[in-house]
Amino acid sequence: MNIFNLSAARDKPANPMHDEARDWLVLLTSGRATVADAKALRTWCAQSPEHAQAFEQAKVLWQQLGAATEQLERPRHFGRRAFLGGALAASAAVVMVRVGVPGGFAGLTADYRTAVGEQRQVQLSDGVSLELNTQTRISRVGQGIELLEGEVEVLTDLALLAQPLKVQAGQGWVSAAQARFNVRHTDHSVCVTCIDGSLSVDVAGNSVSLASGKQLTYGPDGIGEPVAVDAQAVVAWREQVLVFNNATLTTVVDEINRYRPGMLVLLNKKLGQRRVQARFSLQQLAGVALLIRDAYGAKCTELPGGVVLLS
């Protein structure tokens, strides 16, 4: 490896696209990137072949500098910081703008919360119990709750409730007296699944009743129609399992990122469209990148902070 070639590459006139690619790399390796960031990176790379090439070049230079600094017997992190140079300062702003607490600023004061991969049970009252999934933020609102971000399974007991429980999620409200149901609020979209019993969902003046095995989704684009689903697959996370039925690999990777420290970033659009029928134990997720590599022939590039690029 010729270190002078690397220096020459660094001294070339600044290219805004290459600067942005380095900013993305800094964000990914910061340890604070989110699933939304991974989606935004895929969108950025898909803008043009030049965008994708700029990111590939940034990855290559990162890896080359790691090898070069090893030859010079210096700690690797100094060499890579040299690679980023002034981009580090610029990227600090990128990290601050793009990365936030789940649930936004309100999530900072949430009454109940879980970290990445954590699940937690909360006894809200004698008639209401909650099971919080990974990366979830919930606040109490009067006699009810607000799901700021994440996923929760709710069990209500009519015999112990003075009035139906109300759960706010996004722009809608779920009301239940005797029911077991799952509410998921991610990427500004809300999905409500009735596991047992019955409940009602009120969104923008529309009231929809859901019976066992029915699911309703709503968000910025409006409210959908109730559909029949495999309710047990929806709440398989309660058994430490993720179930995917004919889901795209992109969807699978995004879901895995909710549970796994670090991040998988799928950069191959065609690969992301592959359909997947799979069942993963949460204990398997540490090595799931290798499973994807072996099953679909993806190329894996490992970066610091548990980031793995799949291309």
pLDDT digits (tens, 9 = 90+) for 291-306: 888 888 888 888 877 8
Q: Is the pLDDT of residue 118 over 70?
A: yes
Instruction: Find out whether 308 and 264 touch, Cβ atoms under 8 Å.
Output: yes
d(CA 178, CA 287): 40
166 token code pair = 């109300």
pLDDT of residue 238: 96
pLDDT of residue 257: 92
pLDDT digits (tens, 9 = 90+) for 193-237: 999 999 999 999 999 999 999 999 999 989 999 999 999 999 999
Q: Is the pLDDT of residue 11 over 90?
A: no
Q: What is the CA radius of gyration of the chain?
A: 22
d(CA 126, CA 68): 62
% of the chain with per-residue pLDDT over 90: 47
Q: Is the pLDDT of residue 190 over 90?
A: yes
Q: Is the pLDDT of residue 90 over 80?
A: no
Q: Is the pLDDT of residue 108 over 50?
A: yes
Domain covering 104-232 assigned CATH 2.60.120.1440 in the classification? yes
Q: What's the pLDDT band for 97 if we cut at 50, 70, 90?
A: very low
| CB atoms closer than 10 angstroms to residue 171 | 14
d(CA 62, CA 142): 51
User: Strands 241-248 and 275-281: what pairing?
Assistant: antiparallel
Q: Is the pLDDT of residue 72 over 60?
A: no
pLDDT of residue 106: 52
Query: Which CATH class, in words, describes the domain spanning 240-310?
Result: alpha beta
Instruction: Find out whether 306 and 79 touch, Cβ atoms under 8 Å.
Output: no
Q: What's the pLDDT band for 14 if we cut at 50, 70, 90?
A: low
Mean pLDDT of the chain: 81
Return the bridge partners of 219, or none. Answer: 222
Q: What's the pLDDT band for 63 if we cut at 50, 70, 90?
A: low
Residue 175, burial from CB neighbour count under 10 angstroms (0-12, 13-18, 19+): middle
pLDDT of residue 57: 78
DSSP for 70-129, please give it. Answer: HHTT--HHHHHHHHHTTHHHHHHHHHHHH---TTGGGGGG-SEE--TT--EEEEEETTEE
Q: What's the pLDDT band for 246 if we cut at 50, 70, 90?
A: very high
Residue predicted with more confidence, 174 or 1: 174
C-alpha 119 chain-centroid distance = 15
User: Strands 227-228 and 222-223: what pairing?
Assistant: unpaired
DSSP for 14-39, please give it. Answer: P-HHHHHHHHHHHHHTTT---HHHHH
Instruction: Find out whether 114 and 132 touch, Cβ atoms under 8 Å.
Output: yes
d(CA 53, CA 59): 10
How far from each other are the two terminal CA atoms of the chain, in whole angstroms? 25
Question: Where along the chain do its domains lie?
Answer: 3-98, 104-232, 240-310
Q: Which of 76-85, 216-225, 255-264, 275-284 has the highest mean pLDDT?
A: 216-225
